[in-house]
Structure formats: C-alpha cells, structure tokens
Chain A
Amino acid sequence: MAADGKVRDEGDEASPEAEAAEYVLGTLDPRERRAAEWRMRRDPAFGSAVARWSEQLAPLDSGLAPVPPPERVWRGIEAGLKGTAQPMADPGHLRRSVNRWRFATAATALAAVLVAAVALPRLLSPPPGPASYVAILGGEGGAPAFVASVNTAERTIRLRRVGSPPPPDRSFELWKVPATGPTVSLGVADSERELKPLDVALAPGERLAISVEPKGGSPTGQATGPVVYLGTLLPAE
C-alpha cells in the first residue's frame, strides 16, 4: 500500500480527496478548478481536505530563502486597494498582450494594454513636419523604467534607463510596436544611456516595448522573452 503508487480501484482517483490534492498541486484545468473552489466554500469536508493537502505539501516550499520584493509591488497593491491601479487591477492585460504580440499579430491586443505611464491624452493625428517624440516605458508596477526621446530630424533615439538593469545573463531589447504589421527591433538596450541611430519611421501613438532576451538580443528577430516595459510615443511638446 505505502508509496508504491498503486491504488486498488478507480474510485480513489475520482474521489474528492484526489480532486482536493490536485487542486493544491495546481494541475486542475480551469473548469475543474472553478468547481473545486466553489465546492470548498460549500462543502466543509472538501475544504478540510484542501487545507490538509496544503499543509502536507507545504514543506516543499520551506527551504526557500525569502526574496524581498521591490517597493513598487506594494505601491501597486495600495493602488489596487483604492481601485486606481490600471495596469495591475487586471494583471492579465499585459500578459495576454505579450502573448499575442509574441505571435506577431500585435496591434489590436496592444491597444488594450493599460500602462500607468500611458495615461496621457490620446493623439489622433501626428503633427506635421519633423517633430520629436518621447515615450515613458513602464512595467506592471507603473514605475517608469526607460525614457525614450526620438529626434525625427536627426533620425536618432535616445534611451535612458531609469529602472533596474537587465539580469546579468540577459539583455533588454527595444521594439517598435506599430498599430499594424510586425514588431521591429530597435536593438539591444543594456546601457544606462544610449543614443541609437533610427532607421525606421516612428509616429506618435505607436508603442515602444522592452523585452528580456538572451544576452546580445533576440536570436529570431521577434521578441522571445517576456515584455517587461511598454510606453506610447507622444509629441515632446
């Protein structure tokens, strides 16, 4: 009987006990999980089974050293409590968008992304003639991470990092995310300050994004890692 993995009949695997165990393990599919959560609140025996499994498997987490979170996490929570946290109130937004973006169907999904730094007036049409644009790229916590200034006359983009550097074995990569069409790499963005030549056209309302890539940049020409910062280009004045 013990831990040899043998069970005597099908009943065991379909039992509420097994359902509770898999709930704690985290492998129920979304529908099963909703059913389990519903049941937890109505069936005390099932709720106890979930609690028991949580306690039994808890030692798997006990060896981990705590990782102090950056202060922006608390700020995001506070904003969430007050119901003002656009980006974090529905953390799914960025993630979902990143997903679709990665599959290069970009535009419409990204239009739905809400980033605090972007809560500025929307621009309907680009101003005439050469102009300079800025974008503040922020992450989920809403804190700015990069400030980008585009000089269309000189065809340069100046990038200043105001947030954390990339992890030591990774690179940040800057992307142009147009309203339609594929994303375009604007190069690796690992320096704190950088002036890059700009060989693509940029227009206000377009987005810039930073993804985390293997050291030296994406090997594929499309973002392969998570998009961590996003911002919209706005006229500088």
Chain B
Amino acid sequence: MSEAGRLSQPGELDALMADVAEGDETAFRRLYDRMAGKLLAIIRRIAGSEAAAEEALQETFLRIWNHADRYDPALASASTWMVTIARHAAIDLIRRGPERVSAAAVTIDEELAERLAGPAPSDGLEARGLARCLDGLEPDRRQMVLLAYCQGWSREELSRRFDRPVPTVKTLLRRSLIALKECLGGR
C-alpha cells in the first residue's frame, strides 16, 4: 500500500472522496490505505516526534472524514486537499507544544535545499518550474518559505532564526510568495 498514495489515479481518489462524503466507512478505509503513507511522510517533517506524527495523522483522517463534503474536485485534487489538511493538523499540534529546538531542523533543511536545487528527472514539469522559481528567490527568503512549508515553522520561529522582526518576516514571506506566483506565470 505504501506507494499507492502516489500512484493512485486522481479520478479514483475523487470517487472515494465522494463515497466518504456520504459516510461510507469502507471507502474511508480504502482512502486511508491509499493516502496514509504519503501523508505521514509529510507530517513527519513537521511533527517533532513519531508519537506526535501519528497523533497528527489520526487527527488528519478524522478531519477528512468530518469535512469530506467540503472537498471540491473542481478546485484541487483530492490528494492536494488532503495534504493541506495534514499539514495544518501537524502545524496545530506543534504550535500547541513548546518551542521546537531548531538544531535538527537546520540539517534537514539543508538536505531539502540540496534536493530542490536539482529536481529528480522523475519530477514533473510543475516541480521543475517551482524549483527554478524558488532558485530565483534570495537564499534567506527561499529558506524561509521552505522551512515554513516543509517543516511548519511559524513567523516567530523564523523571526528568531533569521534575526528579523516578526512583521518583517510576514512581509518577506508574502513578497516571496507573490514573486513565486509571478515566476510561475500566476494568473
């Protein structure tokens, strides 16, 4: 089941989502089998421990179950919708906890930046486009965006790490995102 999350056909996930919205528990289990591995991988980057990651994954699927009727296939893929829920569940969990020690995060971040610098050949057009546009950002801003997205850093955590006031972090993040959008040919 582990690779299934990535290989699932979008239409298949949409069909499962429609059944889940109707309260179909069998469909829900199948959706879990398809997506839990992928979502756990994403959550683990944000959560500070295995226990916290499992907790966030559990919360993610409860939210998926409760809000399946809010999913609109016209707007985003089911996979993307679930990823957004998972990331927010993980972020909710860590923000309730104590400040994280950033040392571990720094190493992972460097690995991440490395990986993004040269996208794998298997990565799609979108990934290459995003990597190219991220590359166009100043290094600090790129790091801020990546730490926030991939590891769930808050403005306050970024403020300390980059030694900039919180409002400045907010402005820099927003400018970076708008620049990314323009680079990606934003509508």
Binding site for B on A (CB under 8 A): 1-7, 12-13, 17-18, 21-22, 24-27, 29-30, 41, 47-48, 50-70, 72-74, 76-77, 80-81, 88, 91-92, 94-96, 98-99, 102-103, 139-141, 167, 212, 225-226, 228
Is B59 an interface residue when CB atoms closer than 8 A count as contact? yes
Interfacial chain B residues near A92, Cβ < 8 Å: 93, 96
Report which of B40, B130, B173, B179 forms a contact with A22, defined as CB distance below 8 A. Answer: B173
Is B15 an interface residue when CB atoms closer than 8 A count as contact? no
- Contact: B76 with A54, CB < 8 Å? yes
Q: CA of A96 to CA of B6 in the docked complex: distance in angstroms?
A: 34
Q: CA of A65 to CA of B64 in the docked complex: distance in angstroms?
A: 22
Q: CA of A77 to CA of B4 in the docked complex: distance in angstroms?
A: 20
Report which of A17, A57, A60 forms a contact with B178, defined as CB distance below 8 A. Answer: A17
- Contact: A77 with B178, CB < 8 Å? no
Interfacial chain B residues near A95, Cβ < 8 Å: 52, 55, 93, 96-97
Task: List residues 42-89 of chain B with CB under 8 A from any CB of chain A.
Answer: 42, 44-45, 48-52, 54-59, 61-62, 65, 70, 72, 75-77, 79-81, 83-84, 87-88
Is B117 an interface residue when CB atoms closer than 8 A count as contact? no
Is B149 an interface residue when CB atoms closer than 8 A count as contact? yes
Q: CA of A214 to CA of B48 in the docked complex: distance in angstroms?
A: 14
Q: A26-B152, A60-B146 are in contact. Are A99 and B2 (CB under 8 A)?
A: no
Q: A62-B127, A81-B62, A228-B51 are in contact. Are A67 and B97 (CB under 8 A)?
A: no
Q: A25-B149, A26-B152, A55-B76 are in contact. Are A69 and B178 (CB under 8 A)?
A: no
Interfacial chain B residues near A7, Cβ < 8 Å: 175, 178-179
Report which of A26, A52, A66, A228 forms a contact with B38, defined as CB distance below 8 A. Answer: A66
Min CB gap A104→B, angstroms: 12
Q: CA of A92 to CA of B177 in the docked complex: distance in angstroms?
A: 31
Return 17 A-B CB contacts under 8 Å, by A number: A22-B173, A25-B148, A47-B75, A56-B126, A58-B83, A63-B120, A64-B42, A66-B37, A66-B41, A73-B54, A77-B32, A88-B62, A96-B96, A99-B97, A140-B54, A228-B49, A228-B51
Bits for B96-118, please: 1 = Cβ < 8 Å to A, else 0.
11100000000000000001100
Residue in chain A with minimal CB distance to B92:
A92
Residue in chain A with minimal CB distance to B146:
A60
Q: CA of A185 to CA of B4 in the docked complex: distance in angstroms?
A: 43
Interfacial chain B residues near A67, Cβ < 8 Å: 2, 37, 40-41, 44
Min CB gap B110→A, angstroms: 15
Q: Which of A52, A60, A212 has the most CB of B within 10 A?
A: A60
Interface size class of B (residues with CB under 8 A): 35 or more
- Contact: A72 with B149, CB < 8 Å? no
- Contact: A3 with B180, CB < 8 Å? yes
Min CB gap B3→A, angstroms: 6
- Contact: A6 with B179, CB < 8 Å? yes
- Contact: A51 with B75, CB < 8 Å? yes
Min CB gap A165→B, angstroms: 12
Bits for B125-160, please: 1 = Cβ < 8 Å to A, else 0.
011001101111110010001101110111100100
- Contact: B141 with A22, CB < 8 Å? no
Q: CA of A167 to CA of B49 in the docked complex: distance in angstroms?
A: 10
Q: CA of A26 to CA of B146 in the docked complex: distance in angstroms?
A: 11
- Contact: A68 with B145, CB < 8 Å? no
- Contact: A80 with B137, CB < 8 Å? no
Residue in chain B with minimal CB distance to A98:
B97
Task: List residues 166-187 of chain B with CB under 8 A from any CB of chain A.
Answer: 170-184, 187
Residue in chain A with minimal CB distance to B65:
A81
